[in-house]
Structure 1
C-alpha cells in the first residue's frame, strides 16, 4: 500500500519498470533519449504530463489516477464548499448529475486499513476525508473481512 499524501512519481515509475523487467535500452529507444535522462526521470518528484502519458502507455497503468486519488483524499475544504455552492446553483437551473464510484478500490483499502490498524477512528475518517457516514459503514460491512486477511 502506498502513501497518497506524498507522490514520488519517479520512484513509482522505477518500481514499475523493475516489476515489468524492462531494460533501460528499451526505455531509451521508446523515449528517444539516453539512459541518463531516464535516471533523471526516476529521481524526479514530478514529470511533464506528456512524458507521464508516455509512461502510462508503456507500463499500461494510469499514473494520473494517483493524483486523482490524492485530490479525493486531501482536497482542501474550501474547494468542497465552493463545489457545494455550484451544485446548489445547478439544481435550480438544471437536473443534477450524480457522480458515483468516485472512490477507487485503493482508496477504500487505504481507509479500511487505517481503521483496522487503529490509526484513525471512524469519526476521524468521516471528518478528515469527508466521506459520508453511510458510505463508510457500507465499506466496512462489505470489505472488512477481506481486509483482515
Structure 2
C-alpha cells in the first residue's frame, strides 16, 4: 500500500506495519498499555497522540514521524527570515532532507506526466540542479 502523503492516516499506517510484522494484539496492548478495545479505537484514528506514535515506532521498528517530516519537506512553506537576533533553544534541522521515498515520489510525478520538471521545481521548491542530479542518478531506479 502506498500512502497518500497529503492525506496521512496514522492509524492505517500503523495497522499496515502490524500486519506486515504479524504482531499479536496482546503484545501490542501490553507494550502500549491499553486494552484490546482501546487499541482498536487508536488504530481507527487519523491522528494519534505523539507519545503513542513514539511507542508504536519503537515496537514496530519504524519511524512513523518521518511520514510527517516528508509532508513538511514537500508542502510546508519555507521559513521566513527572522531579522531578530533571538536564537531558539529548540534543536535546529535542515529543511531539505530528501529521503528516497520523496525522491521516488517526485520522479514518479515527472515520469507519469502528472507534473513537468518546471512544475515540480516551482511547487516543491526543489533546485534545478538537485532535480537533474536525481534524474541522472535514479533514471533506472534506486540501487
The equivalences for 1:13-52 within 5 A come to 13-52=14-53
Q: CA deviation at 1:2?
A: 2.3
- Give distance in 2, aligned partners of 1:98 and 1:32: 32
Q: For residues 57 and 81 of structure 1, do their structure 2 counterparts lie closer, same or farther at Cα, with a shift above 3 Å needed?
A: closer
Q: For residues 81 and 113 of structure 1, do their structure 2 counterparts lie closer, same or farther at Cα, with a shift above 3 Å needed?
A: same
Q: For residues 46 and 98 of structure 1, do their structure 2 counterparts lie closer, same or farther at Cα, with a shift above 3 Å needed?
A: closer
Q: For residues 51 and 100 of structure 1, do their structure 2 counterparts lie closer, same or farther at Cα, with a shift above 3 Å needed?
A: closer
Q: Unpaired segments of 5 or more residues in structure 1?
A: 91-96
Partner residue in 2 for 1:94? none
- Give distance in 1, aligned partners of 2:41 and 2:122: 39
Q: Name which of 93, 111, 116 aligns with 2:111.
A: 116
Q: CA deviation at 1:138?
A: 0.4
- Give distance in 2, aligned partners of 1:57 and 1:49: 12
Q: For residues 62 and 143 of structure 1, do their structure 2 counterparts lie closer, same or farther at Cα, with a shift above 3 Å needed?
A: same
Q: Name which of 122, 142, 146 aligns with 2:141.
A: 146
Q: Unpaired segments of 5 or more residues in structure 2?
A: 86-91
Q: Which has the higher helix share?
A: 1
Aligned alpha-carbon RMSD (Å): 2.1
The equivalences for 1:1-149 within 5 A come to 1-76=2-77, 80=78, 82=80, 85-86=81-82, 99=94, 102-146=97-141
Tell me the secondary structure at the aligned position of residue 141 of structure 2: helix
Number of positions where the alignment pairs a residue of Structure 1 with one of Structure 2? 135
CA contact (8 A) 2:70 2:102 kept: yes
Tell me the secondary structure at the aligned position of residue 146 of structure 1: coil
Q: State TM-score, norm by structure 1.
A: 0.83
